Amino acid sequence: QQPVQSPQAVILREGEDAVINCSSSKALYSVHWYRQKHGEAPVFLMILLKGGEQKGHEKISASFNEKKQQSSLYLTASQLSYSGTYFCGTEVSGGGADGLTFGKGTHLIIQP
Amino acid sequence: DAGVIQSPRHEVTEMGQEVTLRCKPISGHNSLFWYRQTMMRGLELLIYFNNNVPIDDSGMPEDRFSAKMPNASFSTLKIQPSEPRDSAVYFCASSSTGRVTDTQYFGPGTRLTVL
Protein backbone atom coordinates (compact mmCIF):
# COMPACT_ATOMS: atom_id res chain seq x y z
CA GLN A 1 0.00 0.00 0.00
CA GLN A 2 1.27 3.43 -0.97
CA PRO A 3 2.62 5.60 1.89
CA VAL A 4 0.91 8.95 2.40
CA GLN A 5 2.99 12.09 2.16
CA SER A 6 2.08 15.47 3.57
CA PRO A 7 1.88 18.22 2.68
CA GLN A 8 1.25 17.76 -1.04
CA ALA A 9 2.97 21.03 -1.79
CA VAL A 10 4.74 23.81 0.07
CA ILE A 11 6.11 27.19 -0.96
CA LEU A 12 8.89 28.73 1.08
CA ARG A 13 11.17 31.72 1.02
CA GLU A 14 14.88 31.00 0.85
CA GLY A 15 16.20 30.43 4.36
CA GLU A 16 12.96 29.06 5.81
CA ASP A 17 12.55 25.55 7.19
CA ALA A 18 10.29 22.77 5.95
CA VAL A 19 9.10 19.40 7.21
CA ILE A 20 7.77 16.66 4.95
CA ASN A 21 6.00 13.69 6.45
CA CYS A 22 5.58 10.13 5.25
CA SER A 23 3.13 7.72 6.90
CA SER A 24 2.39 4.08 6.29
CA SER A 25 -0.39 1.78 7.42
CA LYS A 26 2.05 -1.12 7.47
CA ALA A 27 5.00 -1.86 9.71
CA LEU A 28 8.10 -0.56 8.00
CA TYR A 29 11.60 -1.92 7.77
CA SER A 30 13.16 1.04 6.03
CA VAL A 31 12.31 4.42 4.55
CA HIS A 32 14.12 5.94 1.58
CA TRP A 33 14.03 9.62 0.61
CA TYR A 34 14.55 10.87 -2.92
CA ARG A 35 14.38 14.28 -4.57
CA GLN A 36 13.34 14.76 -8.18
CA LYS A 37 13.73 17.95 -10.18
CA HIS A 38 11.43 18.61 -13.10
CA GLY A 39 12.29 16.47 -16.09
CA GLU A 40 15.04 14.61 -14.24
CA ALA A 41 15.43 11.28 -12.50
CA PRO A 42 14.92 10.86 -8.75
CA VAL A 43 18.13 11.32 -6.79
CA PHE A 44 18.84 9.48 -3.57
CA LEU A 45 18.99 11.51 -0.35
CA MET A 46 19.09 9.00 2.50
CA ILE A 47 17.89 5.68 3.90
CA LEU A 48 16.58 5.17 7.43
CA LEU A 49 16.39 1.69 8.87
CA LYS A 50 14.15 0.20 11.50
CA GLY A 51 15.40 1.28 14.91
CA GLY A 52 14.26 4.87 14.97
CA GLU A 53 17.45 6.36 13.72
CA GLN A 54 17.93 9.86 12.51
CA LYS A 55 20.25 10.86 9.73
CA GLY A 56 21.50 14.09 8.31
CA HIS A 57 23.10 15.35 5.16
CA GLU A 58 24.19 18.99 5.28
CA LYS A 59 21.02 20.87 6.13
CA ILE A 60 18.70 18.00 5.30
CA SER A 61 17.95 15.45 7.98
CA ALA A 62 15.32 12.79 8.59
CA SER A 63 13.84 10.72 11.37
CA PHE A 64 12.07 7.37 11.41
CA ASN A 65 9.59 6.43 14.11
CA GLU A 66 8.88 2.75 13.55
CA LYS A 67 6.19 2.63 16.24
CA LYS A 68 4.19 5.26 14.42
CA GLN A 69 5.25 3.92 11.00
CA GLN A 70 6.24 7.42 10.14
CA SER A 71 9.22 9.29 8.76
CA SER A 72 9.86 12.99 8.52
CA LEU A 73 12.31 14.90 6.33
CA TYR A 74 13.61 18.19 7.70
CA LEU A 75 15.03 20.89 5.45
CA THR A 76 16.75 23.64 7.39
CA ALA A 77 17.52 27.10 6.05
CA SER A 78 16.28 26.06 2.62
CA GLN A 79 18.22 26.98 -0.49
CA LEU A 80 16.94 27.55 -4.01
CA SER A 81 18.54 24.25 -5.02
CA TYR A 82 16.21 22.38 -2.65
CA SER A 83 13.26 22.98 -4.97
CA GLY A 84 11.80 19.81 -6.42
CA THR A 85 9.52 16.93 -5.58
CA TYR A 86 10.41 14.81 -2.58
CA PHE A 87 9.41 11.16 -2.48
CA CYS A 88 9.53 8.69 0.34
CA GLY A 89 9.86 5.03 -0.55
CA THR A 90 9.02 2.38 2.00
CA GLU A 91 10.10 -1.20 2.44
CA VAL A 92 7.95 -3.54 4.47
CA SER A 93 9.61 -6.91 4.77
CA GLY A 94 13.29 -6.23 5.25
CA GLY A 95 14.11 -9.48 3.55
CA GLY A 96 14.88 -7.95 0.22
CA ALA A 97 11.91 -9.70 -1.33
CA ASP A 98 9.94 -6.55 -1.96
CA GLY A 99 10.70 -3.46 -3.92
CA LEU A 100 10.06 0.04 -2.69
CA THR A 101 6.59 1.57 -2.60
CA PHE A 102 6.74 5.31 -3.18
CA GLY A 103 4.40 8.03 -1.96
CA LYS A 104 2.93 10.50 -4.44
CA GLY A 105 5.47 13.13 -3.56
CA THR A 106 5.64 16.56 -1.96
CA HIS A 107 6.28 19.51 -4.26
CA LEU A 108 8.65 22.02 -2.68
CA ILE A 109 9.10 25.46 -4.20
CA ILE A 110 11.76 27.77 -2.79
CA GLN A 111 11.45 31.41 -3.74
CA PRO A 112 14.23 33.98 -3.48
CA ASP B 1 31.08 5.86 -14.02
CA ALA B 2 28.45 6.52 -16.69
CA GLY B 3 25.52 5.83 -14.38
CA VAL B 4 22.39 3.97 -15.43
CA ILE B 5 21.80 4.33 -19.17
CA GLN B 6 18.35 4.16 -20.73
CA SER B 7 17.26 4.28 -24.34
CA PRO B 8 15.45 5.74 -26.04
CA ARG B 9 14.97 8.93 -24.03
CA HIS B 10 11.71 9.67 -25.84
CA GLU B 11 9.39 7.34 -27.71
CA VAL B 12 6.22 8.24 -29.54
CA THR B 13 4.22 5.39 -30.98
CA GLU B 14 0.73 4.51 -32.07
CA MET B 15 -1.70 2.36 -30.18
CA GLY B 16 -1.19 -1.31 -30.92
CA GLN B 17 2.51 -1.05 -31.69
CA GLU B 18 5.20 -2.90 -29.81
CA VAL B 19 7.50 -0.79 -27.65
CA THR B 20 10.86 -1.88 -26.25
CA LEU B 21 12.65 0.12 -23.59
CA ARG B 22 16.27 -0.61 -22.78
CA CYS B 23 18.42 -0.25 -19.70
CA LYS B 24 22.09 -0.70 -18.89
CA PRO B 25 22.70 -0.75 -15.13
CA ILE B 26 25.80 0.55 -13.40
CA SER B 27 28.65 -1.89 -13.87
CA GLY B 28 28.95 -4.25 -10.90
CA HIS B 29 25.41 -3.68 -9.65
CA ASN B 30 23.46 -6.86 -9.00
CA SER B 31 19.92 -5.52 -8.80
CA LEU B 32 17.83 -3.78 -11.40
CA PHE B 33 14.43 -2.14 -10.99
CA TRP B 34 11.86 -0.89 -13.51
CA TYR B 35 9.51 1.92 -12.40
CA ARG B 36 6.71 3.79 -14.12
CA GLN B 37 5.84 7.39 -13.21
CA THR B 38 2.56 9.15 -13.99
CA MET B 39 0.87 12.18 -12.53
CA MET B 40 -2.05 10.12 -11.32
CA ARG B 41 -0.26 7.16 -9.76
CA GLY B 42 3.16 8.57 -8.97
CA LEU B 43 6.21 6.31 -9.05
CA GLU B 44 5.30 2.62 -9.23
CA LEU B 45 7.61 -0.37 -9.10
CA LEU B 46 6.91 -2.69 -12.01
CA ILE B 47 9.48 -5.43 -11.56
CA TYR B 48 12.91 -6.00 -10.12
CA PHE B 49 15.73 -8.42 -10.81
CA ASN B 50 18.47 -9.74 -8.59
CA ASN B 51 21.44 -11.37 -10.33
CA ASN B 52 19.42 -11.36 -13.57
CA VAL B 53 16.54 -13.30 -11.99
CA PRO B 54 13.10 -11.66 -11.65
CA ILE B 55 12.28 -11.45 -7.93
CA ASP B 56 9.04 -9.51 -7.81
CA ASP B 57 6.88 -8.79 -10.85
CA SER B 58 3.67 -8.11 -8.95
CA GLY B 59 3.70 -4.53 -10.16
CA MET B 60 3.54 -5.43 -13.84
CA PRO B 61 0.13 -4.11 -14.86
CA GLU B 62 -0.93 -6.86 -17.23
CA ASP B 63 0.24 -9.47 -19.68
CA ARG B 64 1.02 -6.85 -22.28
CA PHE B 65 4.09 -5.97 -20.21
CA SER B 66 7.15 -8.20 -20.08
CA ALA B 67 10.70 -7.68 -18.86
CA LYS B 68 13.90 -9.58 -19.39
CA MET B 69 17.43 -9.42 -18.14
CA PRO B 70 19.54 -11.71 -20.33
CA ASN B 71 22.79 -10.66 -18.68
CA ALA B 72 24.13 -8.43 -15.92
CA SER B 73 24.54 -5.42 -18.18
CA PHE B 74 21.26 -5.25 -20.05
CA SER B 75 17.53 -5.33 -19.46
CA THR B 76 14.46 -4.67 -21.59
CA LEU B 77 10.89 -3.75 -20.81
CA LYS B 78 8.49 -4.59 -23.60
CA ILE B 79 4.89 -3.50 -24.10
CA GLN B 80 2.92 -5.37 -26.72
CA PRO B 81 0.44 -4.10 -27.80
CA SER B 82 0.80 -0.59 -26.44
CA GLU B 83 -2.20 1.49 -25.33
CA PRO B 84 -2.60 5.24 -24.66
CA ARG B 85 -2.86 4.58 -20.91
CA ASP B 86 0.70 3.25 -21.02
CA SER B 87 1.96 6.77 -21.62
CA ALA B 88 4.33 7.59 -18.78
CA VAL B 89 7.97 8.05 -17.89
CA TYR B 90 9.67 4.70 -17.37
CA PHE B 91 12.71 4.65 -15.11
CA CYS B 92 15.28 1.97 -14.65
CA ALA B 93 17.33 1.90 -11.44
CA SER B 94 20.13 -0.30 -10.17
CA SER B 95 21.71 -1.03 -6.81
CA SER B 96 24.86 -2.79 -5.80
CA THR B 97 23.38 -5.77 -3.95
CA GLY B 98 20.13 -7.63 -3.74
CA ARG B 99 18.95 -5.80 -0.67
CA VAL B 100 16.27 -3.19 -1.15
CA THR B 101 17.89 -1.15 1.62
CA ASP B 102 20.74 -0.32 -0.71
CA THR B 103 20.73 2.96 -2.57
CA GLN B 104 19.00 2.80 -5.91
CA TYR B 105 20.50 4.87 -8.70
CA PHE B 106 17.99 5.96 -11.29
CA GLY B 107 18.53 6.36 -15.00
CA PRO B 108 17.32 9.46 -16.88
CA GLY B 109 14.06 7.75 -17.87
CA THR B 110 12.23 7.10 -21.12
CA ARG B 111 9.23 9.29 -21.82
CA LEU B 112 6.69 7.13 -23.67
CA THR B 113 3.75 8.62 -25.51
CA VAL B 114 1.21 6.25 -27.04
CA LEU B 115 -1.17 7.97 -29.46
B40-57 pLDDT per residue, tens: 888 999 998 989 999 888
Other beta carbons less than 10 A from residue B2's beta carbon? 7
Going by pLDDT thresholds of 50, 70 and 90, the confidence category of residue A56 is low
Which residues of chain A make contact with B91, given a CB cutoff of 8 A? 41-42
| CA distances from residue B36 to A62, B2, B46, B90, B92 in whole angstroms, order as listed | 26, 22, 7, 4, 9
**Mutation test of the interface with chain A: which of B37, B38, B41, B43, choosing the one with the most A Cβ atoms within 10 A?**
B43
Residue A68 DSSP one-character state: T
User: Is A81 in a helix, a strand, or coil?
Assistant: helix
Looking at the predicted structure, is the pLDDT value of residue A99 above 80? no
Task: List CB contacts (< 8 A) between B50 and chain A.
Answer: 96
Q: pLDDT tier at B99 (50, 70, 90 boundaries)?
A: low
Q: Which residues contact A57 (CB under 8 A, 6 or more apart)?
A: A45, A46
The DSSP bridge pattern shows strands B110-114 and B10-13 to be: parallel
Mean pLDDT of A45-50: 86
Check A40 against B108: CB less than 8 A apart.
yes
Q: Average of pLDDT values for A23-35?
A: 90
Cross-chain residue pair A99–B50, CB shorter than 8 Å: no
The mean pLDDT of A78-87, rounded to a whole number, is 94
Window from B7-16, B35-44, B58-67, B97-106 with minimum mean pLDDT: B97-106
The answer to which of B13-27, B52-66, B88-102 has the lowest mean pLDDT is B88-102
Query: How many angstroms separate the CA atoms of B69 and B32, rounded?
Result: 9
pLDDT of residue B4: 96
Give the single-character DSSP code of A94. S
Residue among B42, B100, B107 minimizing CB distance to A96: B100
Interface touch A30/B100, C-beta < 8 Å:
yes
